[in-house]
């Protein structure tokens, strides 16, 4: 009786390599060399097969050793396709090609985004050394990308309140405007401003004022749904973008926030507690034509101004 032992899917310390070649003996040869060095290897007999392996991966790929001449999808096409798949877009690719057909394939493959090439027949140790260098390159690219993402995230956040900052507000609203247009869906924004914040600052000092902002922001965060985003829009001004929400939806968010603030009043350093109130304006855009970035913000701003003028601690609709 045959039994198949499936290796557990865990990242090998040396890296994960995909070997793609229509010639079974070359594939086996390359795999053996790499496995001997401690690499984990997946094999595919065609370009189409390679894409299937990539789609099923659960751990990051470190290098692809890729035959150029294959029936069906050739190596150059495979490189092009890989570059379009986010999970493997930065993976180094080592082209393997026969001397006889060499130069043009190499040029096309490198232009398509391959990192290096070797002619067949190849020296095992040299091939392994190249794969090793390419794995390092992939890993560096991956680390760099992670750091970049972290830095971008950092640059989008207001350090005091942990809400997104105003720059990010404009970016998010532009994205949401495009999405609302595409899906013909509504989008609402709520622009709010803490009431009598200047009095808090003047009476209790700026450090206390900062703590009030932090407290308030955590209340805002606590009532948001998955897609909602909250921003520190100015000093004591905040904004919430509510994708998919109409006026009713935005009013519900506003109500939830006021309830959360009333349930858990802010406790001042001196010991007494107070409900922190705010004034707000809500504007909503429905579908395509009326959704303009500037318009909706100006509408919400005017509504906020009306809420202040009409006595504060209230919400007005644009
Ligand atoms: Mg071939």
Around ion ligand 1, residues with a beta carbon closer than 5 Å are: 22, 67, 69-70
Among the listed residues 52, 236, 248, 259, the single catalytic one is 236
Pairing of strands 92-98, 16-20: unpaired
Question: Is 236 tagged catalytic?
Answer: yes
- pLDDT under 50 in the chain at which residues? 1-11
> Is 231 within 8 Å of 166 (Cβ atoms)?
yes
Give dist(CA 169, CA 154) in Å, integer: 14
Q: What spacing in Å lies between the alpha carbon of 75 and ligand 1's midpoint?
A: 9
**DSSP single-letter state for residue 311:** T
Measured in residues, the chain has a length of: 318
Q: What spacing in Å lies between the alpha carbon of 124 and ligand 1's midpoint?
A: 18
Q: What spacing in Å lies between the alpha carbon of 39 and ligand 1's midpoint?
A: 23
Q: What spacing in Å lies between the alpha carbon of 222 and ligand 1's midpoint?
A: 57
Of 63, 73, 25, the closest CA to residue 41 belongs to 63
The pLDDT assigned to 265 comes to 96
Q: Which sequence spans correspond to the domains of the chain?
A: 16-154, 166-317
Full strand arrangement of the beta sheet holding 315-317:
229-232, 237-243, 187-194, 278-285, 315-317
The pLDDT assigned to 285 comes to 86
> Is 153 within 8 Å of 262 (Cβ atoms)?
no
Q: What is the CATH number of domain 16-154?
A: 3.40.50.2300
Of 264, 167, 269, 268, the closest CA to residue 220 belongs to 264
The pLDDT assigned to 184 comes to 85
Give dist(CA 22, CA 298) in Å, integer: 61
The pLDDT assigned to 292 comes to 64
Q: What spacing in Å lies between the alpha carbon of 11 and ligand 1's midpoint?
A: 28
Q: What spacing in Å lies between the alpha carbon of 25 and ligand 1's midpoint?
A: 11
The pLDDT assigned to 287 comes to 63
Q: What spacing in Å lies between the alpha carbon of 80 and ligand 1's midpoint?
A: 17
The CATH-assigned architecture of domain 166-317 is 2-Layer Sandwich (3.30)
Q: What spacing in Å lies between the alpha carbon of 20 and ligand 1's midpoint?
A: 9
Long-range contacts of 259-268 (CB under 8 A, 24+ apart): 260/219, 260/222, 260/223, 261/216, 261/219, 264/219, 266/212, 266/215, 266/216, 268/204, 268/208
166-317 has the same fold as 16-154: no
Stated as kind and residue range, the H or E segment containing 207 is helix 206-222
Give dist(CA 259, CA 219) in Å, integer: 10
Reported as half-sphere exposure (CB side, CA atoms, 13 A), residue 192 has a value of 29
pTM beyond 0.85, yes or no = no
Give dist(CA 190, CA 25) in Å, integer: 65
Give dist(CA 121, CA 177) in Å, integer: 56
Give dist(CA 291, CA 245) in Å, integer: 13
Q: What spacing in Å lies between the alpha carbon of 120 and ligand 1's midpoint?
A: 10
Give dist(CA 93, CA 306) in Å, integer: 61
Q: What is the DSSP string of 58-112?
A: -S---EEEEES--SSS-HHHHHHHHHTSGGGTT-EEEEEEEGGGHHHHHHHHHHH
């Amino acid at each position: 009786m045959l039994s198949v032992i499936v290796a557990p899917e865990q990242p090998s310390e040396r890296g994960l390599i995909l070997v793609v070649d229509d010639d079974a003996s070359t594939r086996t040869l390359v795999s053996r060399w790499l496995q001997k060095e401690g690499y984990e290897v997946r094999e595919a007999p065609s370009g189409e097969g390679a894409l299937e392996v990539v789609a099923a991966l659960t751990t990051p790929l470190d290098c692809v050793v890729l035959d150029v001449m294959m029936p069906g999808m050739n190596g150059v096409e495979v490189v092009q396709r890989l570059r379009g798949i986010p999970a493997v877009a930065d993976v180094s690719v080592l082209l393997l090609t026969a001397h006889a057909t060499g130069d043009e394939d190499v040029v096309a493959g490198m232009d398509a985004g391959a990192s290096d090439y070797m002619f067949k027949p190849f020296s095992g140790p040299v091939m392994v050394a190249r794969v090793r260098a390419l794995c390092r390159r992939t890993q560096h690219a991956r680390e760099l990308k992670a750091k970049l993402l972290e830095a971008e995230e950092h640059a989008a956040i207001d350090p005091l309140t942990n809400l997104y900052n105003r720059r990010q507000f404009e970016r998010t609203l532009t994205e949401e405007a495009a999405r609302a247009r595409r899906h013909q869906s509504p989008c609402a924004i709520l622009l709010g401003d803490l009431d009598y914040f200047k009095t808090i600052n003047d009476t209790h000092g700026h450090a206390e004022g900062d703590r009030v902002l932090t407290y308030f922001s955590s209340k805002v965060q606590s009532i948001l749904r998955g897609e909602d985003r909250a921003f520190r829009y100015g000093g004591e001004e905040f904004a919430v973008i509510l994708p998919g929400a109409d006026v009713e939806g935005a009013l519900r968010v506003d109500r939830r926030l006021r309830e959360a603030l009333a349930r858990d009043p802010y406790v001042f350093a001196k010991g007494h507690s107070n409900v922190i109130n705010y004034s707000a304006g809500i504007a909503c855009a429905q579908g395509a034509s009326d959704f303009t970035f500037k318009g909706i913000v100006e509408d919400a701003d005017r509504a906020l101004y009306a809420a202040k003028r009409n006595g504060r601690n209230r919400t007005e609709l644009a």
